[in-house]
Amino acid sequence: MSLRVAIAEDGALLRGGLVEVLARFGHRVVVSAGDAAELLAGVAAEPVDVVVTDVRMPPTFTDEGIRAAVALRSGPDPVPVVVLSQYVERTYAAELLDSRGGVGVGYLLKDRVGDVAEFVDAVARVAGGGTVIDPDVVRQLVHQRSTPLRRLTPREVEVLGLMAEGRSNSAIARHLVVTDAAVAKHIANILAKLDLPPDGDDHRRVLAVLAYLRG
Amino acid sequence: MIRTSLQALTLPPGRFLRSAWPSRSLIYLASSLVLGLLPAVGCLLVLGYDSLGPVAVASIGVVALVAAGVGLPRFDRVRRRLVDREPRTGPVTAREMVFALVSALVLSWLDVAVAVLAALVPSVLLTAPLNPGASLWMRFAGPFAGVVAIPLLAYAVTAWAGMRAAMGGSLDAELREVKRSRARLVDVFEVERRRIERDLHDGAQQRLVALTVSLGLARLDLEPGSVAAHRVEEAHRQAKEALVELRELIRGVHPKVLSDRGLAAAVAEAADRSPVPVDVELDLPRLPEAVEVAAYFVVSEALANVAKHSRATRCWITGELRGGVLTLRVGDNGVGAADPAGGGLTGLADRVAVVDGRLALSSPPGGPTVLRVEMPCP
């Protein structure tokens, strides 16, 4: 399915790259903005399926993108948003996830754009209402929590990170080059160790894991 | 803020008279009596020359002079706190010793005279009605004159004490100027670091991301398993690694989260990256930029040291702002015996000193290690 995408990124080079990547997978960039104000105006004028925005943009080069994302998600007509950040910032991720909307949300390092297929896949999952969190955020959260997360094996932490990215069991299996059954076993172990309800759909699973991680 | 007695004179009269400055000034002047003991010892020596003999007099004289040279400037500094909130610190200079001697021999008597007059005049006037020797007119008018004299003398005492302290204070001017210029230098460095961070973010980092995107797209167009596909895949991997390294570098130059979200958020992020688990307990408002930057670099250096040397399994950071002073503590349950001169701590101590702060390390062998930083936040 072809998505109508709005992008906001102040670097012209990367903006061009994003347009190219999305076009390569058959999506259409209908709003291409250089800052948050332009993005909000564009989205108001043109209906879109999903927004992809940088965090740091003119005029103050601080957190314009996050504020725009929160505004877009909590407005009367919420839009799914993927926020791209140059570095993992836990407070940004928290603010974004706390913003209400009942629509998809994503928080990814800019580096992930380079893995073009996975990046476009993540954008599509968010457009479809999913939650996608960068594995680095999960790693930091896991790292800081004591028990019972420390009981997870490194492989299980890896699987947890992939779950937080909103991937299905078979997508995780493909990524780790293992069988679906092996992934199912890992996930069952993780959920048991964390005392979470066994398997819902992918989205609910991500939310449960994140809610747990954020305490 | 009022720092010295002299500055206090410019306060509105009501506030000045209710402040502690006049009484502090009086105590300051009265303490000159101790300084005045030195010439008294000299007089005694001259008078006692015949009975004690030249050797005893000479040795007592030498001992008294040495004691005076070392002790007087120190004493002078301590008592100057009464009339100068920011007295001089650091080693005693020769010029300071000479001035302290002059002050003891000559000026101290003036101080005492002013102090005695200031205390005596109002008390005589106020107690005139109880004095049988006073004239009738004096008994009647004395208390009124006393009430008027108190504020006048308060000004006189404070002015004289302020000037006396300022004489010694002129020795400090140089030191303060050096400190200010050092603070300016640190500011310049910080501005420069931010500029570099911004340039790297807008330039190299953007280009590298765009490069990984181009390489990622190129991989899609190449036949899987071909030599070209392998080459591009390798280039893609290297570009992504360069991006990770560049991010680390930028964070070391100036962490963006610090200027955007403040110290508490930046410390929490630093703690997240620490290989040793860290409990962070910080509840801080935004602080002056120089303080936030100094505090952040202290914390990240401390965390790096914990990871490198302490063999700790747990680390904690607490911080609070109380009475205008930020106090941060970084502790761990490691083996202790940390070297206060090593691990980049001396450089940090300098940085903290520029914002008038202090850095203290407690690390007995066997642990625990606690690093404490205090910084005033004006």
Residue predicted with more confidence, A8 or A101: A8
Say whether residue B281 is in contact with chain A using an 8 A CB cutoff. no
Instruction: Say whether both A129 and A168 belong to one domain.
Output: no
Instruction: Say whether both B246 and B321 belong to one domain.
Output: no
> pLDDT digit string (tens) for A61-119?
888 999 999 999 988 889 999 999 988 877 788 888 877 777 889 999 998 999 999 99
**Is B309 a domain residue?**
yes
> Looking at B201, B224, B253, which one is the last position of a domain?
B253
**Is B335 a domain residue?**
yes
Q: Give the one of B209, B236, B259 whose C-beta lies nearest to A110's C-beta.
A: B209
Check B216 against A110: CB less than 8 A apart: no
The pLDDT, as a whole number, for residue A68 is: 93
Burial track B284-307 (b if 16+ CB lie within 10 A, e otherwise): beebeebbbbbbbbbbbbbbebbb
**Is B177 a domain residue?**
no
Disruptive mutation site among B197, B198, B213, B244 for chain A (greatest number of A CBs within 10 Å) = B213
Q: Give the one of B210, B251, B260 whose C-beta lies nearest to A17's C-beta.
A: B210
**Residues of chain A with C-beta less than 8 angstroms from the C-beta of B198:** 61
Instruction: Say whether both B153 and B207 belong to one domain.
Output: no
**pLDDT band at residue A31, thresholds of 50, 70 and 90?**
very high
Instruction: Say whether both A75 and A181 belong to one domain.
Output: no
Check A56 against B256: CB less than 8 A apart: yes
What is the number of domains present in chain A? 2
ipTM of this complex > 0.95?
no
The yes-or-no verdict on residue B108 having pLDDT over 90 is no
**pLDDT band at residue B214, thresholds of 50, 70 and 90?**
very high
The domain of B305 spans 256-376
One-letter identity of residue B12: P
| Domain harbouring A210, CATH code | 1.10.10.10
Q: Give the one of A20, A115, A144 whose C-beta lies nearest to B272's C-beta.
A: A144
Instruction: Say whether both A120 and A90 belong to one domain.
Output: yes
Tokens of A173: 């299996």
> pLDDT digit string (tens) for B15-74?
888 888 888 888 888 888 877 776 677 777 777 777 777 777 778 777 777 777 777 777
| Domain harbouring A76, CATH code | 3.40.50.2300
The pLDDT, as a whole number, for residue A159 is: 87
> pLDDT digit string (tens) for B266-307?
998 888 888 888 888 998 999 988 899 999 989 998 998 888
Instruction: Say whether both A20 and A125 belong to one domain.
Output: yes
**CA B292/CA B265 separation, integer angstroms:** 11
Share of chain B above pLDDT 70, in %: 93
Check B209 against A20: CB less than 8 A apart: no
The yes-or-no verdict on residue B133 having pLDDT over 90 is no
Q: Parallel, antiparallel, or unpaired: how do β-strands B369-376 and B325-332 relate?
A: antiparallel
**Residues of chain B with C-beta less than 8 angstroms from the C-beta of A114:** 209, 212-213, 215-216, 236, 239-240, 243
Instruction: Say whether both A79 and A149 belong to one domain.
Output: no
The yes-or-no verdict on residue A201 having pLDDT over 70 is no
Helices (H), chain A: 12-24, 36-45, 64-74, 90-98, 116-127, 135-144, 154-164, 169-176, 180-193, 202-214
Say whether residue A153 is in contact with chain B using an 8 A CB cutoff. no
Residues of chain A numbered 55-114 and touching chain B (CB < 8 Å): 56, 61-63, 86-91, 110-111, 113-114
Say whether residue B272 is in contact with chain A using an 8 A CB cutoff. yes
Instruction: Say whether both B244 and B128 belong to one domain.
Output: no
**Is B178 a domain residue?**
no
**Residues of chain A with C-beta less than 8 angstroms from the C-beta of B237:** none
The yes-or-no verdict on residue B125 having pLDDT over 70 is yes
> Looking at A104, A133, A162, which one is the last position of a domain?
A133
The yes-or-no verdict on residue A147 having pLDDT over 60 is no
> Looking at B195, B225, B253, which one is the last position of a domain?
B253
Instruction: Say whether both A147 and A178 belong to one domain.
Output: yes
The domain of A60 spans 4-133
Instruction: Say whether both B329 and B197 belong to one domain.
Output: no
Instruction: Say whether both B281 and B209 belong to one domain.
Output: no
Instruction: Say whether both B111 and B162 belong to one domain.
Output: yes
**Is B176 a domain residue?**
no
**pLDDT band at residue A34, thresholds of 50, 70 and 90?**
very high
Share of chain A above pLDDT 70, in %: 89
The yes-or-no verdict on residue A196 having pLDDT over 80 is no
Instruction: Say whether both B224 and B328 belong to one domain.
Output: no
Instruction: Say whether both A125 and A181 belong to one domain.
Output: no
Q: Give the one of B217, B247, B257 whose C-beta lies nearest to A116's C-beta.
A: B217
Residue predicted with more confidence, B85 or B193: B193
The pLDDT, as a whole number, for residue B4 is: 80
Check A63 against B244: CB less than 8 A apart: no
User: How high is the mean pLDDT of chain A?
Assistant: 86
Instruction: Say whether both A175 and A104 belong to one domain.
Output: no
**Is B344 a domain residue?**
yes
Say whether residue B205 is in contact with chain A using an 8 A CB cutoff. yes
Check B213 against A17: CB less than 8 A apart: yes
> pLDDT digit string (tens) for B224-272?
899 999 999 999 999 999 999 999 899 888 888 888 889 998 998 888 8
Tokens of A137: 């955020």
Q: Give Cβ neighbours of residue B112 (< 8 Å, ≥ 6 apart).
A: B29, B30, B32, B33, B36
| Domain harbouring B363, CATH code | 3.30.565.10
The yes-or-no verdict on residue A146 having pLDDT over 60 is no
Instruction: Say whether both A129 and A141 belong to one domain.
Output: no
Instruction: Say whether both B14 and B161 belong to one domain.
Output: yes
Instruction: Say whether both A96 and A119 belong to one domain.
Output: yes
Instruction: Say whether both B196 and B326 belong to one domain.
Output: no
What is the number of domains present in chain B? 3
Tokens of A157: 């932490």
Range B195-213 average pLDDT: 91
Instruction: Say whether both A146 and A205 belong to one domain.
Output: yes
Instruction: Say whether both B236 and B327 belong to one domain.
Output: no
Helices (H), chain B: 5-8, 13-18, 21-30, 32-47, 49-52, 54-80, 94-102, 108-126, 136-169, 173-200, 206-221, 227-253, 256-261, 263-273, 289-305, 345-354
The yes-or-no verdict on residue A149 having pLDDT over 80 is no
**CA B233/CA B254 separation, integer angstroms:** 32
Share of chain B above pLDDT 90, in %: 20
Instruction: Say whether both B358 and B243 belong to one domain.
Output: no
> Looking at B118, B150, B171, which one is the last position of a domain?
B171
**Is B201 a domain residue?**
yes
> Looking at A107, A133, A159, which one is the last position of a domain?
A133
Question: What Rg do the C-alpha atoms of chain B give, in angstroms?
Answer: 32
**CA A201/CA A211 separation, integer angstroms:** 15
**CA A197/CA A192 separation, integer angstroms:** 8
Say whether residue A13 is in contact with chain B using an 8 A CB cutoff. yes
> Looking at A112, A133, A154, which one is the last position of a domain?
A133
Instruction: Say whether both B244 and B260 belong to one domain.
Output: no
Ordered strands of the A28-33 beta sheet? A28-33, A4-8, A50-54, A81-85, A105-109, A131-133
The pLDDT, as a whole number, for residue B176 is: 61
**Is B26 a domain residue?**
yes
> pTM for the full model?
0.65
The pLDDT, as a whole number, for residue A114 is: 92
> pLDDT digit string (tens) for A14-28?
999 999 999 999 999
Of the candidate ranges A9-13, A165-169, B278-282, the one whose mean pLDDT is the lowest: A165-169
Instruction: Say whether both A164 and A86 belong to one domain.
Output: no
**pLDDT band at residue A40, thresholds of 50, 70 and 90?**
very high
Between the CA of residue B151 and those of A117, B83, B342, what are the distances in Å? 84, 18, 56
